[in-house]
């Protein structure tokens, strides 16, 4: 069995995945890709509960979260709406910029391309970084795995990636997991990072992956990341 399959098998046996634990996943259930981008921008440096609170406010105000609707919200009101998620001025500015670039059906057009084309077009938009672009692609099942801080940490500790930069980790994950499992892998590795593989004092003794984890087996040689 390939290593990625074994990791998924064990994590699936260990965890229940609940939509409400992942703001981006819950947003993707709306079938509205723009909302997934908005959720990911809002989620920077905050938790899913705060992100979902902001999204609820936006939905109450707009019904459907669209670029056009978002641009109609006065900047001060938008900032107030985002405030519970922190960095609200910066996030409001980025969201407006993204909405300007994607209004008029542009996002739908972009998503018609192949995965690398879609990714590079999204990355050319100010405010959309690799993680935001990849979260959307992951949620849409479009051939990429987004790397958040939990996934970066667990990938390095498990020895999935030996380099700590975003792109090396993403490529390593895409190699060990089957493409049809990218979303599942993304969600399960986040959960692993939240429950066992925490930044400080990871609970290795209880972790279902300890016998295949570089950090547990050879702590001196493992990459240090917090």
Cβ-based neighbours of 91, under 8 Å, separated by 6 or more: 41, 42, 44, 82, 85
Closest CB to ligand SF4 among 3 and 61?
Answer: 3
The residue within the footprint of ligand SF4, chosen from 158, 169, 176, 190 (CB under 6 A), is: 158
Helices marked H in 63-181: 67-72, 75-82, 88-102, 106-110, 115-123, 130-139, 149-158, 166-176
Least Å distance between CB 217 and ligand SF4? Answer: 8
Residue range at the interface with ligand SF4 (CB under 6 A); choices 38-46, 64-72, 77-85, 153-161: 153-161
Cβ-based neighbours of 35, under 8 Å, separated by 6 or more: 27, 28, 55, 64, 65
The residue within the footprint of ligand SF4, chosen from 52, 70, 187, 197 (CB under 6 A), is: 197
Closest CB to ligand SF4 among 128 and 158?
Answer: 158
The answer to the question of residue 151 lying near ligand SF4 (CB under 6 A) is no
Cβ-based neighbours of 4, under 8 Å, separated by 6 or more: 176, 177, 178, 181, 185
The answer to the question of residue 209 lying near ligand SF4 (CB under 6 A) is yes
Closest CB to ligand SF4 among 16 and 211?
Answer: 211
């Amino acid at each position: 069995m390939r290593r990625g399959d074994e990791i998924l098998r064990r994590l699936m046996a260990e965890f229940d995945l609940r939509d409400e634990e992942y703001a981006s996943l819950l947003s993707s259930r709306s079938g509205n890709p723009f909302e997934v981008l908005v959720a990911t921008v809002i989620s920077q440096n905050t938790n899913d509960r705060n992100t979902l609170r902001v999204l609820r406010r936006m939905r109450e105000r707009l019904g459907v979260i669209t670029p056009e609707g978002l641009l109609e919200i006065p900047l001060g009101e938008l900032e107030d709406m985002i405030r519970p998620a922190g960095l609200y001025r910066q996030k409001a500015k980025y969201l407006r910029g993204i909405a300007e670039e994607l209004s008029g059906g542009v996002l739908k057009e972009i998503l018609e391309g192949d995965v690398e084309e879609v990714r590079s077009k999204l990355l050319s938009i100010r405010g959309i970084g690799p993680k935001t672009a990849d979260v959307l692609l992951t949620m849409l099942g479009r051939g990429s795995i987004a790397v958040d801080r939990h996934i970066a940490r667990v990938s390095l500790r498990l020895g999935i990636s030996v380099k700590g930069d975003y792109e090396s980790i993403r490529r390593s994950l895409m190699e060990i997991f089957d493409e049809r499992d990218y979303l599942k892998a993304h969600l399960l590795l986040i959960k692993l990072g939240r429950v066992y593989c925490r930044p400080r004092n990871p609970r290795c003794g209880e972790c279902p992956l300890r016998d295949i984890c570089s950090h547990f087996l050879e702590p001196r040689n493992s990459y240090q990341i917090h």
